[in-house]
Amino acid sequence: MIKKSQNRFILMKGIIISLIAICMVKPLYSQSSLRDTTFHPYHVNCWVTGGIFIVGVPLIMIGAPLVADKSSLTKAEIDALDRNNFTAIDRWALRLDPSKMGYYANLSDNVLAGIIMLPALTLFDHHIRQDWLDVAMMYAETQIIVNNIYLYSPFGPLFQNRLRPAVYYDALGTSGARMTSWNRSSFYSGHVASAAAASFFTAKILCDYYPGLGWKKYLLYGAAAIPPLVEGYLRMKALDHFPSDILVGLGVGAICGIVIPEIHRIKMENVSMGLYSSFEGTGIRFTWQPEFGK
**Model pLDDT for residues 105-143, shown as the tens digit of each residue:** 999 999 999 999 999 999 898 888 888 889 999 999 999
Q: Is residue 281 in some structural domain?
A: no
**What's the pLDDT tens digit per position in 189-224?**
999 999 999 999 999 999 999 988 888 999 999 999
Residue 138, Cβ density class (10 Å: 0-12 exposed, 13-18 middle, ≥19 buried): buried
For residues 200 and 138, is the Cβ–Cβ distance under 8 A?
A: no
Q: Is residue 89 in some structural domain?
A: yes
Q: Is residue 16 in some structural domain?
A: yes
**Into how many domains does the chain fold?**
1
Q: Is residue 286 in some structural domain?
A: no
Judged by average pLDDT, the poorest of 55-59, 99-103, 118-122, 288-292 is 288-292
Full domain range(s) for residue 260: 4-266
Q: Is residue 126 in some structural domain?
A: yes
Which residues does 231 contact at the CB level (< 8 Å), separation at least 6? 108, 111, 112, 115, 191, 192, 195
Q: Is residue 275 in some structural domain?
A: no
With b for 16 or more beta-carbon neighbours within 10 A and e for fewer, the 84-122 pattern comes to eebeeebeebeebebeebeebbebbbebbbebbbbbbeb
Q: Is residue 15 in some structural domain?
A: yes
Residues linked to residue 288 through DSSP beta bridges, in sequence order = 271
Is 255 in a helix, a strand, or coil?
helix
Q: Is residue 180 in some structural domain?
A: yes
Which pTM was predicted? 0.80
